[in-house]
Amino acid sequence: MTTVLTQQDLYDTAKELALEFSGTAHQWDQRREYCWRNVEVMSDAGLMGMTIPREFGGQGASFLDVLKVIECVARECALSARILVESNMGGISAIMAYGTKKQKEFCAPIVINGDKPAICITEPLAGSAATEMSTTAKKQGNRFILNGHKHWITGGGVSKLYLVFAKVLDENDNYLGIGGFLIHRDLNKGINPKGFVVGKRERTMGLCGMPETELLFDKVEIEEDFVLAPRSGYRKGFAELMMAYNTQRVGAGTIAMGIAAGATHRAKQYLCERKQFGRPLAEFQGLQWMLAEMDADVHASRLMLHDAAQSSITSSSGFPDMMSAARAKFFATERAIKVVNDALQMFGARGFGSNEPLERMYRDVRMFTIGGGTAQILKTQVAGHLLGMPTPQVRNGYAQRD
């Protein structure tokens, strides 16, 4: 029986854990190690799978509740905050919205007990142009045969659930559209699907404790029961499944904003402590104005992200709407990079040294205008919506449509 936590319980727990995680964030980064200890603590505290409905053992928490928890944790440990995003948003949101009862019953306990599902879209030749993917899932009797290659997959090798997007082919190789395929891998239990290989791990500048890996699929067999079938059929299905990704965008924006809030807090304290020219730095107006702008950027980002989370209440999909999520993500992530950069500047040489968390935060925050939809692609989506113009995805895209 799940203990149901109130919004206040979740927030208080997150604040407590964030303090604990603050002491070890440096260690995960330096050792490039996944923070299993934090995962265990977050799972015990009920923070993994908070958005999963109560009937499947989760808290049934709203996206807004989850954002507040994520911000709190991101101020101290962005790595743990990423795990929270992916155990509450993105892949798990898609499964809870579009999955069968059997899939939900299967996936929910795995996530609640500490898994962050991996969402697998990007390929070497299909980045922003995701629909140009070449991974295929071909129907064969009551199963699909998956072949292909993904890269930059967050949590490759540590995740137990993988939601892999692939082009669906019927038995005669006719293309039907793009669908989602669930793979379960748990080495502790000896579950390692044949033909599924976790490839090379990238060496990243930030968020170093999180593996970003290649995944290779060589005739991996997937039972029909493990297909995440969009309600609208495969042809329009990718767009439908990707609506669940709006949650991940809002979550990623919140991590960036949380890092920026943590950096602003540290900068404020430092300005009061450090003296130059016989006065605390806090008395220099040039720095005061920087601090005021940092605070305003964090505040504006938080309002946009919360607004995007709240749009899920009225949107027909039950997810944040595309416009609010895209706008909030590019705004919050670009501002966060600037805020953390300014905070580091206020620390002078100390900011550049690795004894201060600022240099780690600076490396960590840089990712968020790239992963989960680049700032340019999100701006293209927003502008396309405002102007009523479809996003041209291919060379001569407008001409072809005319």
The pairing of beta strand 143-154 with beta strand 161-169: unpaired
Nearest distance in Å: CB 340, ligand FAD:
16
Q: Residue 233 is encoded by which pair of tokens?
A: 């059929």
User: By 3-state DSSP, what share of the chain in percent is helix, strand and coil, each rounded to 5?
Assistant: 55, 15, 30
Q: Compare residues 252 and 271 and give the one whose CB is closer to ligand FAD.
A: 252
Q: Residue 100 and residue 6: Cα distance in Å, rounded?
A: 28
Nearest distance in Å: CB 46, ligand FAD:
24
Nearest distance in Å: CB 120, ligand FAD:
5
For 274, the 3-state DSSP assignment is: coil
Q: Compare residues 4 and 370 and give the one whose CB is closer to ligand FAD.
A: 370
What's the DSSP call for residue 186?
B
What's the DSSP call for residue 139?
E
Nearest distance in Å: CB 391, ligand FAD:
7
| β-bridge mates for residue 162, sequence order | 118, 183
Angle at 357 between CA 338 and CA 304, to 5 degrees: 40
The pairing of beta strand 136-140 with beta strand 227-228: unpaired
Q: Compare residues 206 and 320 and give the one whose CB is closer to ligand FAD.
A: 206
Q: Compare residues 71 and 212 and give the one whose CB is closer to ligand FAD.
A: 212
Nearest distance in Å: CB 256, ligand FAD:
12
Q: Compare residues 7 and 374 and give the one whose CB is closer to ligand FAD.
A: 374
Nearest distance in Å: CB 158, ligand FAD:
12
Contact 221, 194 (CB under 8 A): yes
For 205, the 3-state DSSP assignment is: coil
Q: Rounded to whole angstroms, what are the CA distances from 258 to 157, 189, 276, 323, 339?
A: 27, 36, 29, 21, 11
Q: Compare residues 46 and 206 and give the one whose CB is closer to ligand FAD.
A: 206
Closest CA to 229 of 322, 108, 137: 137
Site residues for ligand FAD per CB under 6 A: 118-122, 127-128, 152-154, 212, 367, 370-372, 374, 376-377, 380
| Residue found by looking up tokens 């950096």 in the block | 263
Q: Residue 134 and residue 154: Cα distance in Å, rounded?
A: 19
Q: Compare residues 79 and 121 and give the one whose CB is closer to ligand FAD.
A: 121
Q: Rounded to whole angstroms, what are the CA distances from 169 to 74, 242, 299?
A: 41, 20, 47
Q: Compare residues 61 and 207 and give the one whose CB is closer to ligand FAD.
A: 207
Q: Compare residues 154 and 333 and give the one whose CB is closer to ligand FAD.
A: 154
Q: Residue 318 and residue 312: Cα distance in Å, rounded?
A: 5
Please state, as a whole number, how many other Cβ atoms lie within 10 Å of the Cβ of residue 380: 18
Contact 352, 340 (CB under 8 A): no
Give the residue closest to ligand FAD by C-beta: 127
